């Protein structure tokens, strides 16, 4: 009986002769046919009564799935500007162009064009960072976490780093201050309490084993009530070098109350670490800026070679920093999004969508969005959204995610919510097409 059922499946060779599959690259068609047929044989072995799907259609769908790159662009309709799952900061056109130029050919990554001698990889980054933050020197590594690991390893391995108990934080996934400290071989010396730590607590803990004092910005939570935290200036006055992990590291004031990089350095921090793709709005990177001697120690540590960034990141970061330096902040998509009033864009989007097929109805609603990416916690972004109600919103959200282009929306109770804040200029029409398709596919069910 079950043998007979297996014979209802085509062989791999038979499947490959289907003209729709024969038109595809052979390796791809073969992998797809094998994957689907193996899966169906296993399913039949488990359940001989199984109703077989259209096998060829299944194989062709699998081939298309395999032919589609895994990593691709999506439309972010969540309103969350720095959405870590969606790749954080979209880059400014100038940064995109800079990547395209150095990616397509050779570049002077490590060549000084005027002397013809070997040049520094970071020559294009240092100047803008010095001008923007007042730092003496700076280096760039793969991300904010790598920046902290490098600083602790190069400057405090085998010695003590004094941190407030209120700052032993988890930033997300595997970045937890005590674990990062352990991984770098530095000894954590906790002081103070969860809610209150004073400069005197750090002062008492300073001894011959002290390598650094560290302050960690509480990026993704807020403590309110009976709390106390010494200022940068008070800690910097204690003697040992003070390292501040700023997280988002706004380069210019005015983006909520995130600490500003230049202010931390002016207040006496010896080094600061911050991410390139949070409020700075550039590529994924970790920037370490501050005193020349400490930066040199980080650069000379063997770990730096393993953590440094490639030419594409450097190109995008330099272009991003130049925009900030020129005061052209609205050229940075993240800054423009954080500052915009989405009201008019929401009305425009609702107008483009027009009438929806029953049972769906659409309306404009006030809502609160988020910055995301561990920046500006507790500071909701007042926004206007297009809300779709009347049908199965979870199913619609899933269809949108699986569409082309994929659209990621927010689900809020019984509504599917599209926040125009994070929809990039030029994406509106593709979003409307994707939404109409998702709604009509639903009708077809
Ligand atoms: C985000 C953050 C990090 C990690 O930075 P990544 O660029 O995500 O690696 C480290 N410290 C703080 C305080 C942060 O906010």
Residue with tokens 């906790």: 190
pLDDT tens, position by position, 126-167: 999 999 999 999 999 999 999 999 999 999 999 999 999 999
Q: Output the average pLDDT for the chain.
A: 94
Q: What is the pLDDT of residue 254?
A: 78
Helix (H) or strand (E) holding 97: helix 93-104
Q: What is the pLDDT of residue 441?
A: 76
Can you tell me the mean pLDDT for 410-431? 96
CA 275 / ligand 1 centre spacing (Å): 6
Spatial distance between the Cα atoms of 243 and 250, rounded to a whole number of angstroms: 16
Q: What is the pLDDT of residue 114?
A: 93
- By the 8 A CB rule, do 317 and 402 touch? no
Which letter does DSSP use for residue 373 in this model? T
Instruction: List the residue whose alpha carbon is closest to atom 8 of ligand 1.
Output: 144
Residue 202 has pLDDT above 70, yes or no: yes
Spatial distance between the Cα atoms of 281 and 89, rounded to a whole number of angstroms: 5
Mutate to test the pocket of ligand 1, among 214, 216, 245, 280 (most ligand atoms within 8 A of CB): 245
Q: What is the pLDDT of residue 5?
A: 83
**Nearest residue to 267 (alpha-carbon basis) of 127, 130, 134, 128:** 134
Q: What is the pLDDT of residue 372?
A: 79
Mutate to test the pocket of ligand 1, among 86, 140, 143, 145 (most ligand atoms within 8 A of CB): 145
Can you tell me the mean pLDDT for 313-327? 97
Q: Where are the domains of the chain?
A: 8-67, 75-84+336-443, 93-328
pLDDT tens, position by position, 357-383: 999 999 999 999 888 776 667 678 899
Q: What is the pLDDT of residue 219?
A: 84
Can you tell me the mean pLDDT for 293-298? 98
Q: What is the pLDDT of residue 160?
A: 98
- Percent of the chain exceeding pLDDT 70 equals 97
- By the 8 A CB rule, do 198 and 192 touch? yes
Our answer on whether the CB atom of 369 is closer than 6 Å to any ligand 1 atom is no
Least confident of 228-242, 246-260, 307-321, 429-443: 246-260
Quick one: residue 290, left, alpha or beta (phi over 0 = left, psi -120 to 50 = alpha)? Answer: left
DSSP strand pairing (75-76 vs 407-408): parallel
Reported as a pLDDT band with limits 50, 70 and 90, residue 443 is: low
CATH of 93-328, one of 3.40.640.10, 2.60.120.200, 3.30.1280.10, 3.40.50.11540: 3.40.640.10
Spatial distance between the Cα atoms of 32 and 245, rounded to a whole number of angstroms: 47
Spatial distance between the Cα atoms of 99 and 314, rounded to a whole number of angstroms: 9
Q: What is the pLDDT of residue 2?
A: 59
Between these two residues, 160 and 222, which has the higher pLDDT value?
Answer: 160
pLDDT tens, position by position, 18-54: 999 988 999 999 999 999 999 999 999 999 888 888 9
Our answer on whether the CB atom of 247 is closer than 6 Å to any ligand 1 atom is yes
Residue 252 has pLDDT above 70, yes or no: yes
Spatial distance between the Cα atoms of 124 and 105, rounded to a whole number of angstroms: 18
Mutate to test the pocket of ligand 1, among 219, 264, 284, 377 (most ligand atoms within 8 A of CB): 219
Return the exposure string of 220-244: e unless at least 16 CB atoms fall within 10 Å of the residue's CB, then b: beeeeeeeebbebebbbebebbbbb
Cα-based distances in Å from 205 to 48, 180, 227, 355, 421:
71, 21, 20, 67, 47
CATH code of the region 75-84+336-443? 3.90.1150.110
pLDDT tens, position by position, 388-400: 999 999 999 999 9
Q: What is the pLDDT of residue 52?
A: 87
Q: What is the pLDDT of residue 172?
A: 76
pTM score: 0.92
- What the block records as the tokens of 325 is 């330096």
Reported as a pLDDT band with limits 50, 70 and 90, residue 256 is: confident
Residue 444 has pLDDT above 70, yes or no: no
């Amino acid at each position: 009986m079950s043998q007979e059922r297996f014979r209802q499946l085509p062989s791999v060779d038979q499947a490959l002769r289907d003209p729709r599959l024969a038109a595809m690259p052979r390796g791809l068609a073969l992998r797809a046919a094998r994957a689907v047929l193996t899966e169906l044989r296993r399913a039949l072995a488990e359940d001989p009564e199984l109703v077989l799907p259209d096998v060829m259609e299944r194989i062709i769908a699998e081939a298309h799935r395999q032919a589609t790159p895994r990593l691709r662009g999506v439309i972010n309709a969540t309103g969350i500007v720095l959405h870590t799952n969606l790749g954080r900061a979209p880059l400014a056109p100038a940064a995109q162009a800079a990547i395209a130029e150095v990616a397509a050919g050779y570049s002077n990554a490590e060549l000084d064009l005027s002397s013809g001698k070997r040049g520094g990889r970071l020559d294009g980054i240092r100047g803008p960072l010095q001008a923007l933050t007042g730092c003496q020197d700076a280096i760039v590594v793969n991300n904010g976490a790598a920046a902290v690991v490098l600083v602790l390893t190069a400057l405090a391995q085998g010695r003590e780093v004094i941190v407030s108990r209120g700052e032993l934080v988890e930033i997300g996934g595997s970045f937890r201050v005590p674990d990062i400290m352990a991984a770098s071989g530095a000894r954590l010396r906790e002081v103070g309490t969860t809610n209150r730590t004073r400069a005197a607590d750090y002062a008492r803990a300073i001894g011959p084993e002290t390598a650094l004092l560290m302050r960690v910005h509480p990026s993704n939570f807020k403590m309110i009530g009976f709390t106390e935290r010494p200022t940068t200036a008070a800690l910097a006055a204690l003697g040992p070098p003070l390292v501040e992990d700023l997280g988002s590291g706004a380069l210019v004031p005015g983006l909520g109350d995130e600490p500003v990089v230049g202010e931390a350095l002016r207040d006496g921090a010896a080094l600061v670490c911050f991410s390139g793709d949070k409020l700075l709005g550039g590529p994924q990177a970790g920037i370490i800026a501050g005193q020349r001697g400490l930066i040199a120690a980080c650069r000379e540590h063997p770990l730096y070679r393993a953590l440094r960034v490639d030419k594409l990141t450097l190109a995008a970061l330099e272009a991003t920093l130049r925009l900030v330096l020129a005061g052209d902040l609205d050229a940075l998509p993240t800054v423009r999004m954080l500052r915009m009033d989405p009201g008019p864009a929401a009305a425009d989007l609702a107008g483009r969508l027009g009438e929806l097929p029953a049972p769906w109805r659409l309306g404009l609603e006030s809502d609160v969005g988020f910055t995301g990416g561990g920046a500006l916690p507790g500071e909701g972004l007042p926004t206007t959204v297009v809300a779709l109600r009347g049908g199965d919103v979870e199913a619609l959200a899933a269809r949108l995610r699986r569409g082309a282009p994929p659209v990621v929306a927010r689900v809020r109770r019984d509504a599917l919510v599209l926040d125009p804040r994070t929809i990039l200029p030029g994406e509106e029409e593709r979003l409307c097409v994707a939404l109409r398709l998702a709604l009509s596919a639903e009708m077809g069910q």
